Homo-oligomer: A and B are copies of this chain.
Amino acid sequence: MVAVAILAAGRGTRMKSDLPKVLHTLAGRSLVERVLDSCSLLDLDRQIVIIGYQGEMVKQALSHRQGIEFVEQTQQLGTGHAVQQVMSSLQKYRGDLLVLNGDAPLLRPETLQKLVETHQIKQNAATLLTANLPNPQGYGRVFCNGGNLVSHIIEDRDCNLAQKQNRRVNAGIYCFNWQKLATSLPNLSTNNDQQEYYLTEVVDYLSPVMAFDAEDYRETNGINDRRQLSEAYDILQARIKDDWMKAGVTMIDPSSITIDESVRLEADVILEPQTHLRGNTTVATGSRIGPGSLIDNSLIGSNVNVLYSVITDSEIAANTRVGPYSHLRGEVKLGQSCRIGNFVEIKKTTVGSNTNVAHLSYLGDATLGDRVNIGAGTITANYDGKQKHPTTIKQGTKTGSNSVLVAPVILGENVTVAAGSVVTQDVNDNALVVARSRQKEIPDWHSQD
């Protein structure tokens, strides 16, 4: 039985922000959400978030998640004080309590799982997550006897030179036997420089206390300012990109690419520089994305090419080419082997296979069949100033350059729309539709100037 308590009451002054620290986002999710998600391999009985600064805002930001309890810490008097606030909520609780920092979003679920397992198998009173830092300066050092049993923790400022050589530090992340912790919490004192209640102090009252090393010390990084936020992003990105490279994805200049954790890629996908994949995006094998593209929450089929384009909330079938300079958004569905070209925006539109929208067009709220050819500069006038209307263009139809299709309107199969026409009424299959003026020539106009 495990419960988690997340310390999320601090302001995070060094963030210099109107937002509380734990609500800053890292690759699409807030820090506190990431900390909650780092428990995904644990079967949690209780999830308690300790709020304080802008607590309502934190509550609101987590309102879409089930089963979160909020406990308020009205004054911020230290980590020990924070955990004291959960005592009444957990009065009858009989299990372990994992204490996490809301500003440490890089913990892997596997690490917390192992921490808790170790804690339970060893029947520890407390198990500390420790990290071996390359530069431990400023951190409390953890000293152990054999078997990782913690003998004492010494703050950096109290370490002698020999002790300073110890690079094993306290990450501030703990698994406790809750009943033992609950007995010790009231004993915390404020006998320290900051005059705060430190959770570390309970280590003196509990036994046995064991240290558990994080495999990668960077997992324990906390975020206190924007530089650390940006570094955490880099660490996260390096993890994600390494995983996809191992899975067979080619990346050209990976440092310039960003990929959310929610993205799924198949082998033999090629990512060009300055490509950004976000949200629930999937890219199938053989596709080449970038340079300079942003794809959010979209499904990209196999052997698709996307060059300098923005695609959101859309689906693209195999062998289709997009860009440069296309913008697809709002539930676009493209069929196979289409060509979507330069300076083309498509919104909430379904397109068949082998259809071209190659240049300077806007299609909105439309349905296009197979083998349609949309001429350069063709626009669906889908908005009458009050509401949106649909356009249907059936298979084999061709629109001329700079034509306008005023919705609602239906163009039948194999229709030809003459260049420069404004189409306001439905057109029958196989028809030519023209709506333009005859060409007149006024000679010697230039010499009149």
Contacts and interface: CB of A to CB of B under 8 A. Distances in A.
Contacts of A375: 379, 381, 383
A342 interface: yes
A380 to B, nearest CB: 8
Contact of A436 (B15, B291, B342, B422): B422
Interface residues of A, number: 101
A439 B423 contact: yes
Contact of A439 (B230, B376, B377, B434): B434
Contacts of A327: 324-325, 342
Given A404-B419, A440-B435, A445-B416, A17 B267 contact: yes
Given A251-B230, A255-B255, A422-B439, A381 B376 contact: yes
Given A246-B16, A250-B226, A428-B443, A381 B419 contact: yes
Given A276-B291, A437-B436, A253 B250 contact: no
Contact of A341 (B252, B341, B345, B425): B345
Contact of A362 (B258, B276, B376, B404): B376
Nearest to A402: B404
How many copies of the chain does the oligomer comprise? 3
Interface string A233-245: 1100100001001
Interface in A205-249: 225-227, 229-230, 233-234, 237, 242, 245-249
A230 B247 contact: no
Nearest to A413: B446
Interface in A364-406: 373, 375-377, 379-381, 383, 385, 396, 398, 400-404, 406
Given A250-B24, A435-B439, A445-B430, A276 B276 contact: no
A420 interface: yes
Interface in A289-330: 291-292, 294, 307-308, 310, 324-325, 327
Interface in A150-192: none
A254 B230 contact: yes
Given A375-B379, A431-B441, 7 more contacts: A18-B268, A230-B245, A274-B291, A373-B385, A377-B379, A415-B446, A428-B443
The 8 closest A-B pairs by CB, nearest first: A16-B248, A432-B445, A420-B422, A430-B446, A226-B245, A414-B446, A435-B439, A379-B401
11 contacts: A226-B245, A230-B252, A234-B253, A291-B294, A310-B324, A360-B377, A362-B376, A362-B377, A373-B385, A375-B381, A415-B446
